[in-house]
Chains A and B, each alone.
Chain A
Amino acid sequence: MTENIKKQNFAARYGWIFWAVIVLLFYVWSITGLKFSGLQESAGEVSKSIVNGLFHPEWGYFYDGSGEDLFSLIIQTLAIAFLGTFVSAILSVPFAFWAARGLEENKLHLRSSSGKFVLVFIRTFPELVLAIMFIKAVGPGSFAGVLAVSIHSIGMLGKLFGEAIENMDRGSEEAIQSAGGSKADMWLLATMPTIMPEFLSYTLYRFEIAVRSASILGMVGAGGIGTPLLFAIQTRNWPRVGIILLGIIVMVTMIDLISGSIRKKLV
């Protein structure tokens, strides 16, 4: 009986020790590499003030008609995200067709691979740096934020759109082709209608992310709620930090709920 049981070779038997040691070394390297500055003395006090600010927000800041209040800036943040996502959804379509691999193409196809690399590059390029570059071009303000969101979002939308194209059902394309349609007919009447619901769903998903990033782009001067938030934190105006945080939480939650319910209907 015993010879039926396959004897584990050395690697299979003790391999996990090797991996455990590697992981352990990685952690030791990380823990010793970081300088833990410890907490500054005011840490407890500051966190208490933040929590206190959250429970006693400065309600007067919610709306005062000056255009610099919470309500106007939240709307502005949403506008940045909305416009940025819309522009980027349009710009992403050519990138998606560039990066999508055809059925009979190899894994290392020149067009598709180069397109995928460009998308990785755009995705990795920090959005903050992009915002600062656009501030140089159009000056500080929410327009720079719109441009940053619309360029940065191409990286993710192009990837998701491209994958949608790769996985789409080709039946209707073939039908148009066999009925004698031209390439343009095929694209307009078969490809686009087939992938449109997926494109819309991904765009909405990206809009949810864009709302989050639009709310912090203001920290570098690209408009929206980020600017007064950073200012309030630096001047230690905790009641104002509290109301802004509440505003961001409510805004993000609402947008997630609305966009999520629309996405459920689409797919």
Chain B
Amino acid sequence: MTATMLDCCAIAAALCATFMAGSRHLKRNILFYTLQTILLAFATAIRGSLQSEEQLYLIAIAIALLKAISIPLFLRWIVRKLCIYSDPGIMIAPPLVMHLSLILFACSYFEIASIGHSKGSSMAASASASLLLTGLLLMLTRRTALSQIIGFLVIENGIYLFAMTQTTGMPLIVEMGILLDVLAGVMIAGLVAFRIQKSFEHIDVTQLAELKDE
């Protein structure tokens, strides 16, 4: 249980996100998301053992239960219900997005190095920045509403990883609140996607451009 293991977990999570950026398949994306979140839970536990804080173990368990099990199950259920298994992507093709995400990974490493002076490890920080940027990229280059939800979840993971590794730790109640927020947000977004499918017979967000102030 050393700091390198924490860095390894963080980088592996970022690589998961890169794979997600390269895959069209929705179920595979959800699987990678699960893997990523489990890695994050591990990282949290390692951090807990490094700082010898029991609170972080509790948070790790909660993350594993809520984000790594219930949310993926819910998303898979939605995918099955909607019968949409792949996302063709928009603007940039997925393989290119994967390469772009790798470049972003490198960029974020140098960025974090230039920002510097934080207490935590700079490797984990750059991994979390890369997670955040890849999540944004996922949302930007995908067509279906489900991919938007997955992208959002990746961004959230990135923010969590940053907060967990760079600060001395947030209070348990705040963490739990954020977890609950994410859970509720995903539930609502999933149900809304369901409704969109029902009323428009597609969940293509590029065609939902009417909702604006004239």
Q: Do A and B bind each other?
A: no
